[in-house]
Amino acid sequence: MLSLNSVTKRYGAFTALDRLSVTIPDDAYVSLLGASGSGKTSLLRVIAGFEEPDSGTVSYDGKHLNGVAPHRRGIGFVFQNFALFPHLSVENNIAFGLRYREQEPVVDPADVRQRVADIVRLVGLEGLEARKVTAISGGQRQRVALARTLVTEPRMVLLDEPLGALDANLRERMCDELRAIRERLKVTFLHVTGSETEALLMGDTVAVLSAGSVAQIAPASSLFSAPLNADVARHLNAYNVLSGKAEGGHFHADGARFPLPDHPVPQDGAPVDVALRFDRISVVAADAAEPLDAVIPARFVASEFNGSSVLSFFRMDDGTLLQVVAHLSGPPPRSFESGALYKLAFDPRDVISFTERAA
Amino acid sequence: MEARVLKPILGVYCAAFILFLYGPMIVLAILSFQGAGGGPQFPIIEWSTYWYRHLLGMTEPGRISRLPIGDSLLRSLTLAVMTTVVSTVLGVVTAQGFRTRFKGSGVVFYLVILGMIVPGVLVGLGMALLSNLLGINRSWWGTAFVLHVVYTFPFAFLVMLAIFNRFDRSVEEASLSLGVSPAQTFRRVTFPMIFPGVLSAMLFSFTLSYDEFSRTLFTSGRELTLPLTIYGTFSVEIYPNIFAFGVLTTLFSFTLLLIYALLMLRAVRSARSFKGQEEAA
C-alpha cells in the first residue's frame, strides 16, 4: 500500500503538487486522471524517486520512501516515450533489469532466458526477441517497455500516459491487455492519463487530480455518477457545470432557474454549482407548449457527429456553453437551426449540486 | 530558377576552396619524390623514393644527416595519447556535471572554455615563468602535458556537452527504475549511447595535442616534441626528407580518421534509435 501524505512539490514559483494526500491500495488498477499541468507527471516522478518532494512523506507499507534512491524503491516506471535502450535488442532490453540490478541480480543466464521467455509470451512479443528496438512498431515498443518493467517483479508499476503514443486502434487493444496482464500478476498499476474515457475504462479506482491535489478518489462507476465537486465533474467531460446562487430551493443564474435537489440542502443566497450530464438533456422547440419541470433556454451553435452519438453545442444568453449528447440508438435526433433559440429540458432529479465551490 | 544558377557557382567555389586547402599538401607530396640530388623546390630532377629511404635510414650515409625525429615522434605520440585520455575523461565528467544546473555553472563554463581561447604563446610563456618560479623542471610529460590538457579539455567538453544536450534522460531513469544503480546505469546505458561523442572528443584531443606548437615551445624543456623538432630542422637547411615525413604523417592522420569513421559508423548504426523514440513520443 502506497501512501502519500501532504506532499508538496514546487518548481520555482509553480506548485505542481499542493499538499497532496492519497493512498493507493495493493493489487489494484488505479487510474489517475488529470488535465495537462495538473501535476500528474510530477506525482509519478515523486513516487518513483526521480524527484524529492519539498515537504510531505511518501511511504510504502508504512516504510518511508523519502530519500530512498529510485533504484532501491522497487517501483517500476513505464515511460510515455517508452525510453527503451536503443543500443540493445528486444531480448536484452527485457533482460536488462534482471541482469544488472543492484539487489538480487539474476546471474544464471538460463534463468534469465527463462524469465524473459515467460514475460515475452505474456505480453505477446514472441519471435521478436532478436530484433532491434528500433526495428519494431510503436505497439511492440510499448510491450517491450512493459515487459522490461514487469519481468523485474516490482511491487508497483507507474505508467505515464502509456497509451498516448499509440494510435486509437491499438490503444483500445492495449487497454484490455494491460488489464489482463495486471490481473494475472497481481501487481498494482498506477496509470496516469489525461483522457477521461481511458481513466474510467482502465481503473478499478479512479483518482482525479486537480490543481496539484487529489480532488476525488473512488471506484470508476461511482466517481462518474457522483462527482464530489464541480472540478471533478468538469474533468469527466460528461457534465455541464453551471455556477449560480440558491434561492428558495431553486438554482438561479442569468437566464436559468430550476429546482435544486434536496441534498445538499440549498441555503438561500449561497453560491452553488450544478452539474448536468450531457446525455440527460433533451432539446425542445422554444415555443413548445407542454409543461416542463426544468428548462434552460439556449441558442444552438453546432453539432459534432461521433459515430454512435451526436454532440450538440448550445449557448446561453450569458455566454455559457452547454453540451447535449444524443445517442443514435434512440430516435434519430432532429437537426437544429443555427442561432435559433431552443429549450434544453431535463429532469431536476438528475441535477447534482455542489455547495462548496472549488477554488 | 535561382538554384540552377547558384548550384554550379557554389560547386566551383567549393572545388576551388578544396584545391586551395589541399594545394600545399599536394605540392609537398610531389616534392617528396624528388631525386637524391634535388632540392626542396621544382623542378623535379628525377622521380625517386630516395628521401623516404633516407628518412628511414636505408640510404648510404652522406652529407645530409637523417631527420632526428625518432624520439620526438615517440614523445609526441605518447603525449597525444596521455592528453587524449585525460581530456576525454575530464570532458565527459564535466559535461555530465553540467547536465544539472548548479550555482556558478556559468562562471565554471567560461573558465573551462578559456583554455582554448587564450593565446598559446602567452600561456606557454606564463607556464615557463611559473615553473621557474616554483623550481619545477620543464618537460614534455609535465608542464607541456598540463598545457595540452588545458587546451584540449574544452574541446572534449564542448563535444560532450552537445551530445548530452540531446540525450533523453528518461532512458537513464528507466534503468534506475529497474533497480540498476547509477554507476551501472552509466556503464550500461549512458556510456554506450554517448560513445560516438566520446570518439569525437578523443579525435579532437589527439589531433590538437599531436601538432601543438605554441604552448609546447616554452614548456617542453630539453626533450622536444615532433612539431618542435621539425621546426628546429628548418633553421639549418630544408631537404625533401621533411616532405617525405610530412606525407607519412598525413597518411597516419588519415588512418586515424578512417578508424574513427568506422567506429562511428558502427556506433551510429547500433544507436539509430534516438530518432525512433522521438517519433514515438
Return all residues near A244 (Cβ < 8 A) that are at least 6 apart: A251, A252, A253, A256, A271, A272, A273, A274
pLDDT surpasses 70 at A356 = no
In this predicted model, which residue has the larger pLDDT, B68 or A92?
A: A92
Query: Over the stretch A231-240, which tens digit does the pLDDT of each residue have?
Result: 888 888 889 8
With beta carbons under 8 A apart, name residues in chain A contacting B180: 71, 96-97, 100-102
* Interchain pair A87, B280: CB under 8 A: no
User: What is the average pLDDT across B97-115?
Assistant: 90
Domains in chain A with CATH codes: 2-225 (3.40.50.300), 238-354 (2.40.50.140)
- CA proximity to A354, closest of A247, A206, A256, A241: A241
Say what angle helices A90-100 and B169-177 make with each other, to 10 degrees: 50
DSSP A204-231: SEEEEEETTEEEEEEEHHHHHHS-SSHH
User: Is 80 exceeded by the pLDDT of residue A73?
Assistant: yes
A327 vs B134, higher pLDDT: B134
Q: Calculate mean pLDDT across residues B217-237.
A: 85
pLDDT band at B1 (very low <50, low <70, confident <90, very high): low
What was the pLDDT predicted at A320?
A: 85
Nearest CA in chain B to A84: B171
Cβ–Cβ of B181/A71 closer than 8 Å?
Answer: yes
Q: What are phi and psi of B236, to 5 degrees?
A: -90, -85
Rounded Cα gap, residues B32 and B45, in angstroms: 12
pLDDT value for B43: 80
- Is this structure's pTM higher than 0.95? no
Q: Domain locations in chain B? A: 2-55, 70-238
Which residue of B170, B181, B182 is in closest CB contact with A83? B170
Q: Is A348 on the interface with B (CB under 8 A)?
A: no
Residue A356 and residue A228: Cα distance in Å, rounded? Answer: 10
The single-letter code of the amino acid at B19 is L
- CA neighbor of A71 nearest in space, from B172, B181, B189, B183: B181
Task: With a cut of 90, say whether residue B184 has pLDDT above it.
Answer: yes
Rounded CA separation A180/A174 (Å): 10
Q: Which of B99, B176, B177, B269 is the best mutation test for A, with the most CBs of A within 10 A?
A: B177
C-beta atoms of B173 and A75 within 8 A: no
**Closest residue in chain B to residue A154, using alpha carbons only:** B178
pLDDT the model gives residue B281: 35
Sheet holding A156-160, edge to edge: A75-78, A156-160, A188-193, A29-34, A205-210, A213-219
If DSSP codes are grouped into helix, strand and coil, which group holds residue A6? strand
Quick one: which of B263, B260, B246, B278 has its CA closest to B24?
B246
Can you give the length of chain A in residues?
Answer: 359
Rounded Cα distance between B7 and B9, Å, is 5
Q: What is the pLDDT of residues A114-148, one digit of tens each?
A: 999 999 988 888 889 888 888 898 888 988 999 99
Residues facing A89 on adjacent strands: A132
Position A357 scores a pLDDT of 53
Q: For the segment B198-217, what is each residue's pLDDT rounded down to a tens digit?
A: 999 999 999 999 989 999 99
User: pLDDT tens digits, residue range A214-227?
Assistant: 888 989 888 888 88
- B25-38 confidence digits (pLDDT tens): 888 888 888 877 77
Please tell me if residue B174 touches chain A, with a CB cutoff of 8 Å. yes
- H/E segment holding residue B146: helix B143-165
Tens of pLDDT, residues B130-167? 999 999 888 999 999 999 999 999 999 999 999 999 88
Q: Residue range B115-132: average pLDDT? A: 92
- The ipTM is 0.82
Q: Would you state the cell numbers that stand for residue A244, as one nine-digit string?
A: 449560480
Q: pLDDT value at position B275?
A: 43
Q: In what order do the strands lie in the sheet with A256-259?
A: A256-259, A250-253, A239-247, A271-277, A352-354
Q: Closest-CA residue in chain A for B194?
A: A87
Whether residue B68 has pLDDT greater than 90: no
- What does the alpha-carbon distance between residue A240 and residue A294 come to, in Å, rounded to a whole number? 15
A79 touches chain B (CB under 8 A): yes
- Whether chain B has a CB inside 8 Å of the CB on A82: the answer is yes
- For residue B102, the model assigns a pLDDT of 87
Q: Cell 617528396, residue?
A: B32
Stated length of chain B = 281
Alpha helix ranges (H) inside chain A: 40-48, 90-100, 109-123, 138-150, 168-185, 196-202, 220-225, 230-235
Say which residues have a Cβ less than 8 Å from residue A16's Cβ, sequence separation at least 6: A9, A10, A39, A42, A212
Q: Do A85 and B189 touch (CB under 8 A)?
A: yes
Domain covering B70-238, topology: MetI-like fold (1.10.3720)
Q: A74: nearest CA in chain B?
A: B179
Q: What distance in Å separates the CA atoms of residue B155 and residue A235, rounded to the nearest whole number? A: 51
What pLDDT is recorded for position B186?
93
Q: How far apart are CA B184 and CA A276, in angstroms?
A: 55
Alpha-carbon distance values, A216 to A27, A102, A203, B43, B54 (Å): 20, 37, 14, 92, 88
> What does the pLDDT read at residue B265?
86
What is the pLDDT averaged over residues B229-240? 81
Q: What is the pLDDT at residue A333?
A: 66
Using an 8 Å Cβ cutoff, are B213 and B231 in contact?
Answer: yes
Distance, in Å, from the CA atom of B236 to the CA atom of B233, rounded to the nearest integer, reads 6
State residue B56's pLDDT score.
80
